[in-house]
Structure 1
Amino acid sequence: MITDIYNWQNQAEEYFLQENYLQSSKLYEQAIVIEPNTISYYWHLGLILLLQGQEVEAQMTWMLPMTDADEEQLQIWANELFHFLQIEAERRETLTEYSLAWLIRQHMREINPSYINNLLQILILSIKLQKFEAIDDLNEWGLIEYLIEKENIEINLGLLIQVLKDFLNTIPLHPVNLNLIEASLPYFSDPHQCFSILLPAALEIGHTLLKPALASSLLELHLRLEPDNVEILRHLATFYQDARNYSQGIETARLCYSLSEGLADKIFALHLVLRGLMSAGGYWQEICITYQELETVFQQFIKAQPSALEEGRILRLLSPSFAIPHIKDAPADFRAIHNKVAEIFNNYIQAFAQSEGKNYSHPIINNQSLISHAKKIKIGYVSYAFRSHSVGWLSRWLFQHHNRDKFDIYTYFINYKLVNDHLQEWYLSQGGKVRKLGMNGLEIADKIYQDEIDILVDLDSVTLDITCEVMALKPAPIQVTWLGWDASGIPAIDYFIADPYVLPDNAQNYYIEKIWRLPQTYIAVDGFEVGVPTLRRDDLDIPIDAVVYLSAQRGCKRHPETTKWQMQIIKQVPNSYFLIKGLGEEETIKRFFYQIAEEEGVDCSRLRFLPLVHSESVHRANLGIADIVLDTFPYNGATTTLETLWMGIPLVTRVGEQFAARNSYTMMKNAGITEGIAWTDEEYIEWGVRLGKDEALRQQVALKLKASRQTAPLWNGKQFTREMEKAYEQMWQRYIEKK
């Protein structure tokens, strides 16, 4: 029996904290019998029942003393109960007992369904406990409606920020996110607080999860707070273009350029304009004007060399070079500018690393070091493309055939994300020691350095700024660029992998890296998976006896001069048709081809524009509809050329001076084919016409290509791997001798 009010309450509280709910409840039941009008006893007893899973009994206990209360008293007691439960919910949250905190707060919501801070806490807990069902829960709670009303709301901004962060990090793909964020915007008096939430989430959604349209919708919301935020506009232009909303992407990039002040910002803004124009395809007058402006600003930047740039601006310096080889074939001129920018980039990155206390020094080779390396050389491969990507498809044979007894293989995934991608799964299982990394260049370099990699191989070049940063940091004593693009020009990179054909003999004159020529080919594959074709001539209204030409490239490779050659070929070959396929702005691409066709006297009815297919194996099977494939220039096909040759289809290519203009040449040479290799514009047209008119020649080339599968270096991934491994051993030996 209760005799001392203070002692029994202390005892009840102690039992409660010990989770001896049976003894604690007995004391409160006794207290209610003695003092039935003391409301707080009901609060405690109801809470104990709730924690024991007796929710109905808990609610009945809380309501029992309220049955006879008037409206004013009822509100006072409801507020008291709400406050009592809030204290306990916060205690449970401190103890990380999130399930119990969530349960208590749900009952708080029943007492006061419009109290915004409790709803935010419930949302945070629901996400932690993976209990959140976006549409149903938000609609049921009315959270968005309460935020929109903005009347009598004293919101905890810290809670709102936490909700948005958790919401976007955990369930970033649901459109309901946008409604919640839109309703939250008026509560941000400081736009930077919103910026720090939305931009990282947009980058994750757009680049890692490959949802650029949703990412752009997210950034559009922030523009309501800061319509002239250049950083937001940069990413927004990129996401519009990635989502194939080219016109808006170009317009946003131009706005970004008009608002940019520093030279580095102007360079990247011009890159975004070029990126949009070239991805759409066909805007060649604007492309040439923009390119000239970019080259001028590059020269101004080289001359000025701004003394202080933060990491973000540094990283954006090299990507703009990607567009230039699509526009002209002048590697000596191009690299004279690009190499200087790459050197400045390299110096900036190393200075930045030093300011962060990073020093990736490599020890002098001694006898002990030689002994430790006597067994295996550590090869590290770094890329964002170990997935369903052209680099992923082509580099897998090197991984498959590596001699694991002589080499330790490390694979560094940049911007890794768990997605349903069978090729990524393949690399996870075949990549040796796999490192799943993010987008922080210093952290990636740290990991490579800690792994004591001997030779680091970059598969991205300037196509990813983070990879450029990693290579400039020099985390490995020997660094190599292979496959992903032309050489990046970064002084910290030692070698660029080539072969006897893909670069001319004098190329070393304008390359910073040492060109390492493999004896036959810089790339080889064992073949491609080929599916079931979905294209038939009947479907395209093309006669069965017609000669079918095809070109399957992105819009950025559609150069007007090359297109003129292609139209001249079609014009000279009776009963011929031209199939055009590839990413781009559909109407712009059509207008581009129709205009040139009319200028060259070709009936536009002989052109066919093919839809994209989302399966690589079906795409390859559909190539079989073509009699001849016409390559692009000055930027050749690469993966598409390999696929064309594997399918046994004659190819016409124009050989230039730059790496991008010689890919098809080296691949044809390494498949044993010279028919279709043109060294002049006129030869390109001549080969196209000759192959179109001479069916026997086409059959002869097709037979040679099919036979080459058994003998040619291009189709021997194992031999290629041995040649790469020999190169690695020679690089390592040179390094030892030099040290």
Structure 2
Amino acid sequence: MIDKKVSSESVNLQQEAYQYLIQSDYGKAAELYQQAISAKPSVKQYYWYLGLTLLLQGQEAEAQTTWMLAMLEGEAEQLDEWANELIEVLQLEAERQETLEDYPMAWTLRQHIREIRPSDIPNLLQIIQLSIKLKQFTGEDLHSLGVIEILQLKQGVHVNPDLLLQVLQNVLDSAPLDPWLPEFAEACLLYTDKPQTFIYVLMLAATKIAYGIGQYQRAIQLAKICLHLDAENIEILSHLSTFYIHNRQDDKGIDIAKLCCSLAKTLPEKVFACCLLLRGLMGTGGHWQEVLSLLNHYESLLLSLIEAQPALTDRTSTSRLVNSTFFLPYIRDDAKTNRWIQNQVVQLCQAGIECYEKDRLERYHQRTSHPGSSGTAVQPLKIGYLSHCLGRHSVGWLARWVFEYHDRNQFEVSAYFINYQSRLKDPLRDWFVEHADKAHKFEMNSLEIAEKIYQDNIDILIDLDSITLDITCEVMALKPAPIQVTWLGWDASGLPAIDYFMADPYVLPDSAPDYYRETIWHLPNTYIAVDGFEVGVPTLRRDHLDIPNDAVIYLSAQMGHKRHPDTARLQMQILKQVPNSYFLIKGIANQESVKKFFIQIAEEEGVDCQRLRFLPEVALEATHRANLGIADVVLDTYPYNGATTTLETLWMGIPLVTRVGQQFSARNSYTMMMNAGITEGIAWTDEEYVEWGVRLGKDEAMRQQIAWKLRQSKQTAPLWNAKQFTREMEKAYQQMWANYVEGSK
């Protein structure tokens, strides 16, 4: 190692030189190292430091020449020893530069270490770390540095597992689509000594990649790597099933969901797995017989869960259950039973959250239970909107008008974005950021979101997601705001921490207060209004679809979850009774599965399958709206109606046939039609649904009359007056606050 016979004078000279070096006086340091070399030319350490000072001044060629000269005529053993000494000097300086946050210099130093020892895996990992910090990491780095090859050798490779995991995590965050990433992750797997931590890191990244940037194939790859560590882990398998479904690999997703059902041991796991299977089956749009046969088992599991009242003491168990009743209203219109089951299940989840977040809840309650303690004046009221849908999503297209028209003298508007992905280009999301007084961007950490809402002293927190997202439910359950409201995104969640559910005179029946936990706040006209929609250039033509110009075109544009076989059968009965009519079917689902589903029902009802047309998705919402114009009549779904699609249909002036039920999801189109001044097409029974469908198909004059009324309604109807609607929402907020203050007194 370093020569220990150096005279005290030389040692002092070296120490003085090093002091100049760390003070960045490289010229003086180099001068002193040269003096030391003149005095003791055999001491190689002086050459290493002289070269270092030259390198720190940007003189890389001179630095390398200095080191090479020092190594001339050395024996093999000496060269190895000297190389180790030089690496030690460069390593220490690289660490110092990293501490100083001079990452470019640290990167340069580590590159020189790499030239001396190309297979030094800890150094290569540090180079990757620095490349990421410098934002110069590329998809080829893992390959070009030879990291994967070296790790795969296994024998003779010594690496800190914690450092390796940290590098993997950073690569996942900075370059999730790197082509070499899956192979790198598999190589890291060979060295992990904390399998559960490894799984957590990889699966967290997989969910971000899937739901943040929509790259489901990469998420599938990462989840499958985790299965090498735990092949029967329900958490991994459930995510993998969902990734497959989103990636339109439905059969694989369903098979894995069935595997989860077979592996589930506890009652909460069984409920969760059954819900997962339902999701896979319903999402295809064509497995309804299996769905209906599974319904009794699904409901019995939920009832058993409610009866057992198991203690949920961890976040994973709770998040799995919080949206486990999601599919009930898609399957049946039984408002009272569906609501009771949902209320009971989410109450169980609320109790779990109160158990594992007791201290936080108590801290929040100290402020939210006393209006004066927040320090917030009555005006402006602080309103917070919480959602993962504030962008190109149905909720985003509809909620934007409230942001547009809010009176900023009376209301301060904050937006809390869940799973905000900066990589994702979304002009509507950017619009929300610009139109909020304060915009807060989060990933998927419910505690971080709740704390921010609490620190912001929000007076009224509006939940736009309901039970469609577990993170939103957990935030709302923590009660970070004194008044909490569910609006727009779905039916009410049933969480005890929610105070109000926004409705109108039509969207809920008179009996609704009997089975809703939340107080129902009835707005005077409608629970949603818009000023309109952007409409693009249509891409559909009758001749392209081989449909005659004089034919009657029916259309249905909904996702697979909403295509109940009973309603599809009614639609075929309409088609059968209207000569020269065709049915266009469009929506997010498995195309082959949907085709098989409708063709089978058409054949059973005696309808020629040549009258069916299956349309692909289009990239832009504006194009989708323009394409609605090809339809003469739109046939709504039941027991789960259209919502945004209904608004778009009415905006385009197209007659709609809807079947009204008892639950919120079966009355969306009803309230929208009433608030547009249209009663033609509103059916209260299956028979009326068919009658209206046939009548509108045969009566061109009636269709024209409805189109004219819809055109006129744009000037007068509550449905198309978003400014008035916003004023009504604001009055509701002010009254809620007044009630809260009065109640606290």
1:597-676 alignment, distance < 5 Å: 597-676=602-681
SS in 2 for 1:106: helix
1:464-475 alignment, distance < 5 Å: 464-475=469-480
Separation in 2 of the partners of 1:80 and 1:455?
64
Corresponding residue for residue 699 of structure 2? 694
SS in 1 for 2:530: coil
1:205-604 alignment, distance < 5 Å: 205-356=209-360, 358-361=362-365, 373-418=377-422, 419-604=424-609
Corresponding residue for residue 170 of structure 2? 166
Change (3 A) 1:124 1:374: closer
SS in 1 for 2:419: coil
Change (3 A) 1:585 1:81: same
Question: Unaligned 5+ residue runs, structure 2?
Answer: 1-6
> What amino acid does structure 2 have at the position aligned with 1:280?
T
SS in 2 for 1:642: helix
Separation in 2 of the partners of 1:367 and 1:95?
48
- C-alpha contact 1:281 1:585 (8 A) present in aligned 2: yes
Asked whether 1:96 is paired with 2:101, we answer yes
> What amino acid does structure 2 have at the position aligned with 1:666?
T
Change (3 A) 1:367 1:692: closer
> What amino acid does structure 2 have at the position aligned with 1:682?
E
- C-alpha contact 2:339 2:515 (8 A) present in aligned 1: yes
- C-alpha contact 1:116 1:143 (8 A) present in aligned 2: yes
SS in 1 for 2:654: coil
> Which of 596-605 and 450-459 deviates more?
450-459
Corresponding residue for residue 185 of structure 1? 189
Separation in 2 of the partners of 1:595 and 1:504?
35
Separation in 2 of the partners of 1:370 and 1:311?
29
Asked whether 1:39 is paired with 2:44, we answer yes
Deviation at 1:170, TM superposition (A): 1.7
Asked whether 1:144 is paired with 2:151, we answer no
Separation in 2 of the partners of 1:423 and 1:203?
23
RMSD: 2.0
Separation in 1 of the partners of 2:457 and 2:376?
11
Deviation at 1:702, TM superposition (A): 0.9
Asked whether 1:116 is paired with 2:125, we answer no
SS in 2 for 1:531: coil
SS in 1 for 2:119: coil
Separation in 2 of the partners of 1:52 and 1:467?
53
Separation in 1 of the partners of 2:347 and 2:391?
30
SS in 2 for 1:409: strand
SS in 2 for 1:709: helix
Separation in 1 of the partners of 2:735 and 2:8?
92
> What amino acid does structure 1 have at the position aligned with 2:176?
P
Corresponding residue for residue 4 of structure 2? none
> Which of 336-345 and 666-675 deviates more?
336-345
Change (3 A) 1:673 1:247: same
Separation in 1 of the partners of 2:653 and 2:617?
21
Asked whether 1:128 is paired with 2:171, we answer no
- C-alpha contact 2:318 2:353 (8 A) present in aligned 1: yes
Question: How many residues align structurally?
Answer: 737
Corresponding residue for residue 66 of structure 2? 61
Deviation at 1:728, TM superposition (A): 1.9
Question: Unaligned 5+ residue runs, structure 1?
Answer: none
Separation in 2 of the partners of 1:410 and 1:110?
52
| Cα-to-partner distance string for 1:489-519 (whole Å, 9 max, x where unaligned) | 1122121111111111111111111111111
SS in 2 for 1:420: coil
SS in 2 for 1:320: coil
Change (3 A) 1:159 1:378: closer
SS in 2 for 1:408: strand
| Cα-to-partner distance string for 1:21-50 (whole Å, 9 max, x where unaligned) | 222222332333444333222222211111
> Which of 597-606 and 428-437 deviates more?
428-437
Separation in 1 of the partners of 2:407 and 2:206?
41
- C-alpha contact 1:120 1:160 (8 A) present in aligned 2: yes
- C-alpha contact 2:237 2:260 (8 A) present in aligned 1: yes
Change (3 A) 1:393 1:72: same
- C-alpha contact 2:361 2:479 (8 A) present in aligned 1: no
- C-alpha contact 2:636 2:659 (8 A) present in aligned 1: yes
Change (3 A) 1:378 1:698: same
Match of 1:724 among 712, 725, 729: 729
Match of 2:27 among 6, 18, 22: 22
| Cα-to-partner distance string for 1:31-85 (whole Å, 9 max, x where unaligned) | 3344433322222221111111111111111111333234444333333322332
Change (3 A) 1:529 1:50: same
- C-alpha contact 1:362 1:476 (8 A) present in aligned 2: no
Change (3 A) 1:27 1:726: closer
Change (3 A) 1:193 1:352: closer
Change (3 A) 1:707 1:89: same
- C-alpha contact 1:116 1:146 (8 A) present in aligned 2: yes
Change (3 A) 1:286 1:47: same
Separation in 2 of the partners of 1:285 and 1:367?
53
Asked whether 1:4 is paired with 2:9, we answer yes
Deviation at 1:365, TM superposition (A): 8.9
Separation in 2 of the partners of 1:269 and 1:406?
47
- C-alpha contact 2:376 2:457 (8 A) present in aligned 1: no
Change (3 A) 1:27 1:452: closer
> Which of 683-692 and 396-405 deviates more?
396-405
Separation in 2 of the partners of 1:331 and 1:68?
90
- C-alpha contact 1:353 1:359 (8 A) present in aligned 2: no
Identity %: 58
Separation in 2 of the partners of 1:118 and 1:20?
27
TM-score with structure 1 setting the length: 0.96
- C-alpha contact 1:399 1:431 (8 A) present in aligned 2: yes
Change (3 A) 1:597 1:291: same
Separation in 1 of the partners of 2:73 and 2:375?
89
SS in 1 for 2:386: strand
> What amino acid does structure 1 have at the position aligned with 2:296?
Q
Separation in 1 of the partners of 2:362 and 2:120?
49
SS in 1 for 2:662: coil
Separation in 1 of the partners of 2:312 and 2:683?
47
- C-alpha contact 1:353 1:442 (8 A) present in aligned 2: no
TM-score with structure 2 setting the length: 0.95
Corresponding residue for residue 110 of structure 2? 105
> Which of 488-497 and 25-34 deviates more?
25-34
Separation in 2 of the partners of 1:364 and 1:341?
25
